[in-house]
Amino acid sequence: MMVHEQLPSPHEWTRANPDWLTIPQAMFFFSPEHVKPGAEFHAFVERRYREMSAEAESRSVAQLSDRAVSVRRDQVQLVVDGSTGKMHLEHVERHQSLMADGYSDVEYLFVCEPDAPGLEAVEPGLRSAVVELASFAVKFGLSQKQNFAQALEQGHAMLVGRWHDLTEPFRPIHPDQWRQFLFDPSSSPIARAANGDVQIFSPMVIPSEPTSVAMASPHSGVDPILSWLIDQMRSNPDKPRSKSSMLIEARNLCADLSERKFFDLWKPAVSLSGAAAWSKPGRR
């Protein structure tokens, strides 16, 4: 380690750990408790399939890897791939296609109903299985979005990201803050605030036990100075105070707080609190 490299605080990480998850991956690994890769993930998907499908059988679900399983019905299988955070339908035979043309892919979202127009292009003998597995995929995906949201609220997972710049360390993102951001991982690795220009680079998820993510206050788990600033701005949205006076008070909470870090937190605090008056010129 370089001598000048700053050691991370308990709520800062200079790099991602191997057990962290991307947000698409995280959608598969919470029940809302953390579901560990391997046999636990296999058992979880199998249980959810039994709960959601009348056609489910124990032999229908097979483990492909620690983070991927296949759900099979006749000659059709749904691959639930937690390593990519995606699901797709395919023929159980590697070089066979589900489509009548012999080569096109099947998008499960377009064939999840018996009268779906997309079914016309599927091999007639496979349509029933395609509908059944596609319907499960839709239900499972929606259910997992709800489970992930609950995992964040209950402390089974913690969101982190590089606030403002790729060179910044990973810092926590409270669920209340995350709801203020727009994020489409298929098009960009950057989350952007819906009501401002704050950006979070490379948002990721840390699986955790409930006791390891403090949830006692509205902003617990977040940088304490950022949390304090947000609360101060929300309490007095139309009565902004100078940065210099606020810095003095903030150092009573954190004696080693640098001026640079404090000023870096000011802008996201304004955006996340909605107190636009605190961003006006003259607030020095």
Q: pLDDT tens across 1-50, in order? A: 332 333 344 467 889 999 999 999 999 999 999 999 999 999 999 999 99
Q: State whether 142 and 176 are in the same domain.
A: no
Residue 148 vs residue 187, higher pLDDT? 148
Residue 109 belongs to some domain of the structure: yes
Which of 152, 172, 200 corresponds to the end of one domain?
A: 152
The confidence score (pLDDT) of residue 216 equals 36
Domain assignment present for 137: yes
Domain end call among 133, 152, 171: 152
Are 216 and 123 found together in one domain? no
Q: Which residue has the higher pLDDT, 92 or 230?
A: 92
- Residue 13 counted as domain residue: no
Q: What is the pLDDT of residues 215-264, one digit of tens each?
A: 334 444 457 888 888 888 888 888 888 888 888 888 877 877 888 888 88
Q: Which pLDDT tens digit goes with each residue over 111-139?
A: 999 999 889 999 999 999 999 999 999 99
Contact between residue 19 and residue 207 where contact means Cβ atoms under 8 Å apart = yes
Whether residue 6 is contained in a domain is answered as no
Instruction: Classify residue 12: in a domain, yes or no.
Output: no
Q: Is the pLDDT of residue 271 over 80?
A: no
| 147 and 180 together in one domain | no
Q: What is the mean pLDDT of the chain?
A: 85
Q: Does any domain span residue 176?
A: yes
Domain span at residue 73? 21-152
In this structure, the answer to whether residues 239 and 272 fall within a common structural domain is yes
Number of domains in the chain: 2
pTM (whole model) above 0.85:
no
Residues 191 and 174 reside in one and the same domain: yes
Tens digits of residue pLDDT in 191-214: 998 877 789 999 999 998 544 333
